[in-house]
Amino acid sequence: MLNYVIIFITLKESVVVIVKKLSYLLIVIGLGIVGYAGWEIFDTKMQTSNSLAEAKSIVESPPDKEIYKEEDGTFKPPIGEAIGILHIPRLNADLPIVEGTDPDDLEKGVGHYKGSYYPDENGQIVLSGHRDTVFRKAGELEVGDTFEVIVPYGNFEYEITETKIVEADDLSIITLQNEYEELLVTTCYPFSYVGNAPQRYIIYAKKKEV
């Protein structure tokens, strides 16, 4: 009987040791995840800041659409290059606009969807950004608020007309129509979601006539 008691106590102590080690391991893993996430946010902020400086330098130069003008008259800057600024008065925010929406592009700022139009081209302009960096306050914007898109050839103002939530795989919102000028701003949703968000938050804005 005594032997069984000793074995039971030994097993219990072993279980306690294993549980403690697992607890320490989980804590270390958790700290690692938090640290990595923190570094990602810091790195993105640094890249966004650098892109904003580049964008300001570009837009403060004499307005000239010819520098990236294609034969069809459209504005086509190189992928990954900071080419403009998205000014959001309500949020007192100036965000760099970068050509492209690949992960590397979105780490630099607001991505311009390749294939969509630019201001003054009479089509759909699509801008996307991360909900936890450049667009973390997008939910505070309301109908009637404005965006100002600043590019080398001018400043263009757009008024928010509608917001909606769609599934992440719903690409019907990106029509790339060229019948009238509109600005489409997209980000992941819900804003507080951890991981790959299942939906997208869409902001529609129409061009304000001067």
- Dihedral (Cα; 108, 57, 64, 130), 10-degree rounding: 20
Burial class (CB in 10 A: 0-12, 13-18, 19+), 54: middle
**Cis status of the peptide bond prior to 190, with omega within 30 of 0:** yes
Of 155 and 11, more confident: 155
Annotated active-site residue in 188, 202, 203, 205: 188
Percent of the chain having pLDDT more than 90?
53
d(CA 196, CA 110): 18
So what's the pLDDT on residue 194? 84
| Lowest mean pLDDT segment, chosen from 14-18, 20-24, 35-39, 182-186 | 35-39
Residue keyed to tokens 């869409």: 202
Mean pLDDT confidence for 84-103: 95
Distance of alpha carbon 44 from its chain centroid, rounded?
10
Annotated active-site residue in 130, 131, 200, 207: 130
H/E stretch holding 192 reads none
Domain boundaries in the chain?
54-207
54-207 — its CATH code? Answer: 2.40.260.10
Per-residue DSSP letter, 22: H
So what's the pLDDT on residue 39? 45
Mean pLDDT confidence for 77-86: 91
Residue 85 contacts residue 147 (beta carbons within 8 Å): no
Of 136 and 51, more confident: 136
So what's the pLDDT on residue 92? 95
Of 40 and 161, more confident: 161
As a whole number, the mean pLDDT across the chain is: 81
Is residue 29 pLDDT above 90, yes or no? no
So what's the pLDDT on residue 76? 85
Mean pLDDT confidence for 182-205: 94
- Please indicate whether residue 112 is annotated as part of the active site: no
Instruction: Report residue 21 as tokens.
Output: 């080690």
Could you report the per-residue pLDDT of 123-161, keeping only the tens digit for each? 999 999 999 889 999 999 999 999 999 998 889 999 999
